């Protein structure tokens, strides 16, 4: 028998049954995270069929996508958009009816679902975690099998605490050596996607390994796993280690006293065996990764900060040529020109990719003692109320406010155009989020993905660089 990957181990531990005819499997789900956007229909379906929530205590609800990022104390009255208000009030009603724990808007524990789960200690190694949200891959940073599901699957998980699914293939991303000074997990993730493409991980669960990954903090590992989905993978994983355990210890839902030791000794078995079988291995040298930004309208259209935009004139593949032309046109960038020096009008530091305390510290270090450039509007949006409180305890809010950044309340904010924080048509934004699709941050808006340090620098200088 060959050894097992970490993914194989978690899968085997949760397999309830397999349907020989279809190849579908039924797996048990340890944690179901829910938010306002992908649950109203799922609860309606439950109600219509007269079903209950199978394990309400394994379900946790937050309000994040639609929430405004100021004056949250006003409650739902302060949510101007009717569709958003309806989704938020449906969630409040549903969690009350089914007895699900909920951190409503304005509760200090509320925030972006992928920030809240780990912060509360609900996310734990070896678990299966699902949420009606593609960036559920974030939780893989703890060595949990975590991925997004659709609304009909949300209903299925609510009703049965299981998921009907198929096993993915195993892919290893080996990052050797060290990242260079000033190069972050965000740069690594964007670099990886630029190498493998947005379909590179299709059908696979990616495990990030190697010295450079081991050296990352939990925040960095979450950033990396968050972007796995943009590389096409079903999920991302990092095997748990002392860094993981130190982050988890003492969190509200983490095991206590004797239970901690029992849990930890299980968690320590969660790694890929040396003789595990991989369907694909990608190798990256940590030293090769440069500060990386996107120039186009897909996360794979990323390049070193020191580089030039592609020139369609020298691209022979007609499909690629057309895609590059279209992206350059949408982004209003010249072909073959340096990306550094491109002026921005907006800066967004936030999202489930980069809104944790370490991200805010990194941005504050750059912003400290400087001023946001004339003509630039810059926002910092902490990932949760607790991140915000911690940042305030460290004085980071003062650093940002004195520099001229807006210090907002938690939520998805300008990561996607579902709440009042949006770009105007034609505005260019340096953003720490994970998607730069056309119109993602508002119709006609132009998004450049980058690390918190680079985004803060863009705010100060007014240009990418």
Is residue 455 part of the contact set for ligand SF4 (CB under 6 A)? no
Is residue 139 part of the contact set for ligand IPM (CB under 6 A)? no
| Nearest C-alpha neighbor of 419 from the set 105, 118, 155 | 105
Is residue 134 part of the contact set for ligand IPM (CB under 6 A)? yes
Is residue 112 part of the contact set for ligand SF4 (CB under 6 A)? yes
From candidates 205, 213, 416, 454, binder to ligand SF4 by CB under 6 A: 416
Is residue 135 part of the contact set for ligand SF4 (CB under 6 A)? yes
| Nearest C-alpha neighbor of 294 from the set 174, 193, 414, 166 | 193
Stretch that binds ligand IPM, among 55-63, 130-138, 336-344, 392-400 (CB under 6 A): 130-138
Stretch that binds ligand IPM, among 127-135, 176-184, 355-363, 379-387 (CB under 6 A): 127-135
Report which DSSP code applies to 15. Answer: E
**412 assigned ligand-binding residue:** yes
Q: Name the binder of 433 from ligand IPM, ligand SF4, none, CB < 5-8 A by kind.
A: ligand SF4
Q: What is the CA radius of gyration of the chain?
A: 21
Q: For residue 113, what is the enclosing H or E element? A: helix 113-120
**429 assigned ligand-binding residue:** no
Q: Which residues pair with 348 in a beta bridge?
A: 379, 431
From candidates 133, 155, 219, 362, binder to ligand IPM by CB under 6 A: 133
Stretch that binds ligand SF4, among 46-54, 143-151, 195-203, 412-420 (CB under 6 A): 412-420
Of 236 and 304, the one with the shorter C-beta distance to ligand IPM is 236
Is residue 223 part of the contact set for ligand SF4 (CB under 6 A)? no
Q: For residue 192, what is the enclosing H or E element? A: helix 185-196
| Nearest C-alpha neighbor of 118 from the set 10, 243, 213 | 243
Is residue 324 part of the contact set for ligand SF4 (CB under 6 A)? no
Is residue 65 part of the contact set for ligand IPM (CB under 6 A)? yes
Q: Counting Cβ atoms within 10 Å, is residue 268 exposed (0-12), middle (13-18) or buried (19+)?
A: middle
**352 assigned ligand-binding residue:** yes
Of 189 and 416, the one with the shorter C-beta distance to ligand IPM is 416
| Nearest C-alpha neighbor of 263 from the set 98, 112, 144 | 144
Instruction: Answer for the pair 274, 173: CB distance below 8 angstroms, yes or no.
Output: no
- C-beta atoms surrounding 152 within 10 Å: 11
| Nearest C-alpha neighbor of 247 from the set 117, 410, 131 | 117
Is residue 415 part of the contact set for ligand SF4 (CB under 6 A)? yes
Show contacts with ligand IPM in window 412-431 (CB under 6 A): 416
Q: What's the rounded Cα separation, in Å, for the pair 170 and 273? A: 13
Helix (H, G, I), strand (E, B) or coil at 280: strand
Of 84 and 456, the one with the shorter C-beta distance to ligand IPM is 84
Show contacts with ligand SF4 in window 341-370 (CB under 6 A): 351-352
Of 133 and 153, the one with the shorter C-beta distance to ligand SF4 is 133
Q: Name the binder of 112 from ligand SF4, ligand IPM, none, CB < 5-8 A by kind.
A: ligand SF4
Q: Which residues pair with 463 in a beta bridge?
A: 343
Give ∠ CA 232-226-53 in degrees, rounded to 5. 95
Q: Name the binder of 351 from ligand IPM, ligand SF4, none, CB < 5-8 A by kind.
A: ligand SF4
Q: What single string gives the DSSP state of each residue in 381-440?
A: --SBHHHHHHHHHTTHHHHHHHHT-EE--SSSGGGSSSSS--PPTT-EEEE-SS---TTT
From candidates 4, 65, 446, 448, binder to ligand SF4 by CB under 6 A: 65
From candidates 9, 122, 135, 346, binder to ligand IPM by CB under 6 A: 135
Annotated binding site for [4Fe-4S] cluster: 352, 412, 415
Residues in touch with ligand SF4 (CB under 6 A): 64-65, 112, 133, 135, 351-352, 412, 415-416, 433-434
Residues in touch with ligand IPM (CB under 6 A): 37-38, 65, 133-135, 148, 416
């Amino acid at each position: 028998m060959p050894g097992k990957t970490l993914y194989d181990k978690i899968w085997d531990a949760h397999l309830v049954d397999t349907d020989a005819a279809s190849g579908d499997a039924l797996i048990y789900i340890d944690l179901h995270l829910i938010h306002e956007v992908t649950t109203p229909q799922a609860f309606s379906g439950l109600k219509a069929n007269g079903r209950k929530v199978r394990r309400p205590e394994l379900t946790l609800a937050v309000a994040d996508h639609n929430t405004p990022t100021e004056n949250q104390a006003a409650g739902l009255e302060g949510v101007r958009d009717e569709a958003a208000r309806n989704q938020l009030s449906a969630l409040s009603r549903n969690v009350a009816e089914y007895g699900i724990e909920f951190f409503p808007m304005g509760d200090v524990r509320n925030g972006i679902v992928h920030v809240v789960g780990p912060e509360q200690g609900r996310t734990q190694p070896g678990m299966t975690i699902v949420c009606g949200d593609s960036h559920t891959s974030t939780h893989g940073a703890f060595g949990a099998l975590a991925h997004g599901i659709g609304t009909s699957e949300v209903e299925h998980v609510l009703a049965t605490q299981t998921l009907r699914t198929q096993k993915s293939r195993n892919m290893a991303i080996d990052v050797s050596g060290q990242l260079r000074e000033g190069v972050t997990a965000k740069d690594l993730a964007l670099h990886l996607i630029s190498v493998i493409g947005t379909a590179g991980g299709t059908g696979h669960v990616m495990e990030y390994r190697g010295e450079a990954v081991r050296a990352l903090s939990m925040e960095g590992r979450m950033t990396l796993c968050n972007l796995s989905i943009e590389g096409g993978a079903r999920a991302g994983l990092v095997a748990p280690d002392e860094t993981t355990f130190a982050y988890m210890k003492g969190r509200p839902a983490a095991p206590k006293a004797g239970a901690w030791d029992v849990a930890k000794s299980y968690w320590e078995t969660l790694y890929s065996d040396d003789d595990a079988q991989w369907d694909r291995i990608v190798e990256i040298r940590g030293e090769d990764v440069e500060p990386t930004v996107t120039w186009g309208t897909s996360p794979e259209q990323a390049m070193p900060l020191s580089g030039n935009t592609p020139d369609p004139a020298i691209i022979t593949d007609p499909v690629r040529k057309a895609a590059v032309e279209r992206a350059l046109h949408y982004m209003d960038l010249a072909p073959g020109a340096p990306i550094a020096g491109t002026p921005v009008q907006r800066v967004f530091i936030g999202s489930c990719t980069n809104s944790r305390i370490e991200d805010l510290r990194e941005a504050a270090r750059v912003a400290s003692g400087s001023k946001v450039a004339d003509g630039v509007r810059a926002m910092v949006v902490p990932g949760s109320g607790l991140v915000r409180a911690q940042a305030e305890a460290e004085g980071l809010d003062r650093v940002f406010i004195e520099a001229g950044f807006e210090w907002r309340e938690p939520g998805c904010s300008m990561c996607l155009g579902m709440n009042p924080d949006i770009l105007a048509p034609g505005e260019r934004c340096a953003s720490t989020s994970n998607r730069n699709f056309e119109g993602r941050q508002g119709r006609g808006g132009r998004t450049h993905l980058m690390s918190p340090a680079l985004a803060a620098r863009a705010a100060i200088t007014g240009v990418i660089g």
